[in-house]
Amino acid sequence: MASLADAIERHIKELFERTGAPWVEIRRVELAGRFACVPSQITYVLETRFTPRHGYLVESRRGGGGFIRIMRLAPAQPDRASLLQALIERLGDAVTCSEADAVVERLQQARLIGAREAAVWRAAMRSQTEWVPVPALRDRVRAALLRSMLMVRFMEVSDA
């Protein structure tokens, strides 16, 4: 008999197969309800079976409208380009400093950018936004800057 963790993993992978999308979004509480388990069991499966080493990136948004987005990385360059394109498409109009850092961290963990490039991206997003007096505008400038950096990176990956 398969374990609960195996069943949850299989369900998430089936979501990828059904949608054919480079990412799926789930709600931890809804998935826990489906499998009659605690939400921490879902977290355990995500932290142990959906890691960059296993070919996945996981993004979590907490709160009332919170969700978990699981992005599949495949070894082939076109799939990595698809991930970068998906990141570009889903960036909103505004990105906080911590959200931008999280995106950069995930890209680095997935080995889409190196440590030096990650450091440059972080420095650029800080130095180019610190002069903006209004925090909301600062977040908009940061989002535009991050989108531009992702676009450049996307072009490099797709041309390779």
What domains can you pick out in the chain, each with its CATH number? 1-72 (3.30.56.130), 76-160 (1.10.1200)
What's the whole-model pTM score?
0.50
DSSP H/E element including 11: helix 4-19
Residue from 34, 41, 36 nearest 5 by CA: 41
Q: 96 - beta bridge partners?
A: none
Average pLDDT of 133-158? Answer: 79
Q: What is the pLDDT of residues 28-73, one digit of tens each?
A: 889 999 999 998 899 899 988 887 667 777 877 766 656 788 887 6
Structure tokens that stand for 86 in this block: 């998906």
Query: In Å, how far are 53, 80, 159 from 122, measured between CA atoms?
Result: 23, 21, 24
Q: What is the pLDDT of residue 73?
A: 67
Q: What is the DSSP letter of 54?
A: G
- Average predicted confidence (pLDDT) for the chain: 81
| 3-state SS, residue 25 | strand
Q: Are 23 and 71 in contact (CB under 8 A)?
A: yes
Q: Are 55 and 75 in contact (CB under 8 A)?
A: yes
| E-assigned strand segments in the chain | 23-26, 56-61, 67-72
How far apart CA 149 and CA 133 sit, in angstroms, is 23
